Amino acid sequence: MSTSIPTDAILCKLADLAETGSRGFRVGDGDWPLKGFVLRLDDGSLRAWVNNCPHAGHPLELLPHRFLTADRKFIQCSSHGALFDPVSGSCVAGPCPGRKLRPLAVALQGDDIVLASSSVDVDNAPPRRAAESTQ
């Protein structure tokens, strides 16, 4: 089945990031809508990632929009505690060293955070788990 991901889809308002520093979103239709999250870093820049743990293949957050550690220094997988660098998406602690979150391009348009057109090429079908990968 095909998936349609609209370019320049509004993901959230910039103000939505104030409380938790992050915000989850779902964009598109079809069998595999794009599920991701946006972060606002300390320097004010924005990062966005596909909401999928590279270790276990499931969403990172347990509670809605809670992707960061309490000190907001790392992205944390709520299942097994893996920590990811919020700038590079690289796993810095936990069971998936050397693996990375998949980035998404975002832009700020006024007060809206939008999915940039370069993100449309992201393969948003669920990734294979390590045990399912072919050699």
pLDDT band of residue 42 (cuts 50, 70, 90) is confident
CA distances from 118 to 31, 33, 105, 121 (A): 21, 16, 6, 6
Give the predicted TM-score (pTM) of the model. 0.81
pLDDT in tens, 45-62: 999 999 999 988 889 998
Residue-level pLDDT at 4? 52
pLDDT higher than threshold 70 for residue 119: no
At 127, list the tokens: 């990734």
Contact 110, 5 (CB under 8 A): no
When the pLDDT of each residue in the chain is averaged and rounded to a whole number, the result is: 82
Residue at token pair 């239709």: 29
pLDDT higher than threshold 60 for residue 124: no
CATH superfamily of the 3-66+101-121 domain: Rieske [2Fe-2S] iron-sulphur domain (2.102.10.10)
